[in-house]
Amino acid sequence: MSEVETIKAYPFLLNGEWQNTTSERTIEIESPSGAETPGAVQAMTESEVNAAISGANEAQKNWARKSFDERAQVLHSWADQLLLMKDEIAEAIMKEAGKGLSSAEKEVVRTADFIKYTAEEGKRLHGELINGGSFNAGSANKFALVNRNPIGVVLAISPFNYPVNLSAAKIAPALIGGNAVVFKPATQGAISGTLMIEALDKAGLPSGLVNLVTGKGAEIGDHLITHPLIDLINFTGGSQTGKSISQKASMVPLILELGGKDPAIVLEDADLDKAAADIASGGFSYSGQRCTAIKRVLVQDEKADELVAKIKEKMNGLKVGAPEDSADVTPLINSKAADYVTGLIDDAVEKGAEVASGNQREGNLIYPTLLDSVTKDMQIAWEEPFGPVIPVIRVESVDEAINIANESEYGLQASIFTKNMEQAIQIGNELEVGSVQINGKTERGPDHFPFLGVKSSGVGGQGIRKSIESMTREKVTVLNMTQG
Ligand SMILES: O=C[C@H](O)COP(=O)(O)O
């Protein structure tokens, strides 16, 4: 038997059947650590993709007629199945995304919680009745019944960094809202994605309601996003890909969760221990491969030396190494990503940044790196590394911090560290971001909070309730009473 034949190739779920592609082509998943491949997935053909979309379109009609309670039962059962498969799924996340094992396990548990909350939140969804007579020229005999209806087939495209959680964060709200889903996981994330769909299948998923599409985005991506039976696209990934989707997809509602350059703004009265701890964990956990990672520090000059010293101290507590050892900082997803981060560090150092800590590399593993005295002419001041490097930019005033924060093309989240709540709220109001964290690191959760980005960070809103609302649409039925 040749080496290729021993690699496990995972099938895809198409209209209730687990299948291999007729193309006979598979894609071997890379290991970020350079270990042996965790397996392969099918490179589906365009006609298989078409069958996935039209099957979902068919299945949706029946699902839309189900009560919220019936849909919720499937979701609850899915969450239970995921927990039963926790070890297997966490191992897949660890191997293909390079995530520390304990974080991978937490991702599965967080996902089960997410799905259960979504099931219950769906049951609480309700419409409203509007009396026409409340408008000056309206009639008291006219009423609008406003209900929320499914949109149809949702195309869910998820990223490598949370291959289970960010997939379920699209699929579960879409399903409770009465939609069908065509799910395209990131290639490095497709095994975890396949296993979570196996759990959903075991939970009693109606045939075709969620179809799994695997393959290279470069080969089938455009076909998926321009298919006429796709009614909504929900994508998480890089801003460039998000922009390209928004240009190609015509007249289809979009939810895009994209990149970020979240600043931690540290004022002179801040609790520096707390700020340093949050910056170290917010910037370096999972090697900074999170859209919400802290990606720059804007600190008032007077406190910069002290803050940098404290961040360095906190960095000593980070575990650097193998995903199997549940390290915080593990090898980046691939060598291209690691080269990009190295390039940003080199550019900053060449232009005069000081390496306060780190700047060491072994394969795709980049040690947590803190760059001090970063200036606006350096790429790292503006670009999103998606890796374990934090630039510290020293500022003279609060206004300068706000200006630099807003000069970014991104607008996901921002942290403000200060004891002055009133000033924090004022600064928060000035920041062009979706969420402001006062005295806390930037992060998406808890998952029922609204989550959105502005500018290049995204379009539309998510967070459990918001996601259900974003993937349903209002339907207005007007009652014209003949008897007043
Ligand atoms: O990568 C983007 C994720 O939505 C970030 O989620 P997180 O803040 O829970 O790590």
Best residue for ligand 1 mutational test, from 292, 448, 449 (most atoms within 8 Å of Cβ): 292
CATH number for the domain spanning 13: value is 3.40.605.10
Cβ atoms 285, 315 nearer than 8 A? no
Judge if the beta carbon of residue 455 lies within 6 A of ligand 1. Answer: no
Cα torsion at 196, 199, 205, 211 (round to 10°)? 30
Judge if the beta carbon of residue 262 lies within 6 A of ligand 1. Answer: no
**What is the ipTM for the molecules in this complex?**
0.97
* Residue 453: inside a domain: no
Looking at the CA of residue 447, tell me the nearest atom of ligand 1.
9
36 and 80 part of one domain: yes
Judge if the beta carbon of residue 357 lies within 6 A of ligand 1. Answer: no
Judge if the beta carbon of residue 290 lies within 6 A of ligand 1. Answer: yes
467 and 433 part of one domain: no
182 and 231 part of one domain: yes
Number of domains making up the chain? 2
* Residue 437: inside a domain: yes
- Protein residue whose Cα sits closest to atom 2 of ligand 1: 291
How far apart (Å, rounded) are the C-alpha atoms in residues 359 and 369?
Answer: 5
Question: The tokens of 415 are what?
Answer: 């942290």
305 and 248 part of one domain: no
Question: The tokens of 468 are what?
Answer: 């259900």
Kindly report the pTM of this predicted structure. Answer: 0.97
Cβ atoms 155, 182 nearer than 8 A? yes
41 and 155 part of one domain: yes
310 and 347 part of one domain: yes
Q: Amino acid identity of 321?
A: G
* Residue 454: inside a domain: no
The DSSP code for 323 is G
* Residue 44: inside a domain: yes
217 and 126 part of one domain: yes
Among 185, 263, 259, 217, which Cα is nearest to 459's? 259
pLDDT of residue 484: 59
142 and 291 part of one domain: no
Q: Supply angle C-alpha 428, 434, 437, rounded to 5.
A: 50
pLDDT of residue 254: 98
pLDDT of residue 2: 45
Q: At what angle do helices 217-225 and 46-64 cross, to 10 degrees?
A: 40
Q: Cα–Cα distances in Å, from 252 out to 201, 233, 246?
A: 28, 7, 9
Burial group, residue 450, by CB count within 10 angstroms (0-12, 13-18, 19+): middle
Among 149, 213, 223, 234, which Cα is nearest to 473's? 149
The DSSP code for 31 is P
Three-state secondary structure call for residue 9: strand
How far apart (Å, rounded) are the C-alpha atoms in residues 164 and 167?
Answer: 5
Domain enclosing residue 86, as ranges = 3-258+459-474
Give DSSP secondary structure letters for 52-112: HHHHHHHHHHHHHTS-HHHHHHHHHHHHHHHHHTHHHHHHHHHHHH---HHHHHHHHHHHH
Best residue for ligand 1 mutational test, from 109, 161, 448 (most atoms within 8 Å of Cβ): 161
How far apart (Å, rounded) are the C-alpha atoms in residues 252 and 233?
Answer: 7
Cβ atoms 176, 205 nearer than 8 A? no
CA of 444 to the centre of ligand 1 (A): 5
* Residue 413: inside a domain: yes
359 and 408 part of one domain: yes
Judge if the beta carbon of residue 457 lies within 6 A of ligand 1. Answer: no
253 and 387 part of one domain: no
327 and 348 part of one domain: yes
Looking at the CA of residue 443, tell me the nearest atom of ligand 1.
8
List CB contacts of 137: < 8 A, sequence separation 6 or more. Answer: none
* Residue 386: inside a domain: yes
H-helix segments, 187-254: 190-202, 217-225, 239-248
Please count the CA atoms within 13 angstroms of the CA of 125 that sit on its side-chain side. Answer: 32
How far apart (Å, rounded) are the C-alpha atoms in residues 38 and 342?
Answer: 26
Judge if the beta carbon of residue 291 lies within 6 A of ligand 1. Answer: yes
CATH number for the domain spanning 286: value is 3.40.309.10
Judge if the beta carbon of residue 110 lies within 6 A of ligand 1. Answer: no
Best residue for ligand 1 mutational test, from 165, 415, 444 (most atoms within 8 Å of Cβ): 444
Residue 145's Cα: distance from chain center in Å?
Answer: 34
Q: Supply angle C-alpha 93, 312, 426, rounded to 5.
A: 85
CA of 290 to the centre of ligand 1 (A): 5
* Residue 30: inside a domain: yes
Burial group, residue 422, by CB count within 10 angstroms (0-12, 13-18, 19+): exposed
Judge if the beta carbon of residue 97 lies within 6 A of ligand 1. Answer: no
Please count the CA atoms within 13 angstroms of the CA of 140 that sit on its side-chain side. Answer: 2
Per-residue model confidence as pLDDT tens for the chain (484 residues): 344 458 999 999 999 999 999 999 999 999 999 999 999 999 999 999 999 999 999 999 999 999 999 999 999 999 999 999 999 999 999 999 999 999 999 999 999 999 999 999 999 999 999 999 999 999 999 999 999 999 999 999 999 999 999 999 999 999 999 999 999 999 999 999 999 999 999 999 999 999 999 999 999 999 999 999 999 999 999 999 999 999 999 899 999 999 999 999 999 999 999 999 999 999 999 999 999 999 999 999 999 999 999 999 999 999 999 999 999 999 999 999 999 999 999 999 999 999 999 999 999 999 999 999 999 999 999 999 999 999 999 999 999 999 999 999 999 999 999 999 999 999 999 999 999 999 999 999 999 999 999 999 999 999 999 999 999 999 999 999 997 5
pLDDT of residue 244: 97
Looking at the CA of residue 289, tell me the nearest atom of ligand 1.
1
Q: Could you list the active site residues?
A: 257
* Residue 481: inside a domain: no
Cβ atoms 98, 33 nearer than 8 A? yes
167 and 306 part of one domain: no
Strand-pairing partners, residue 232, are 154
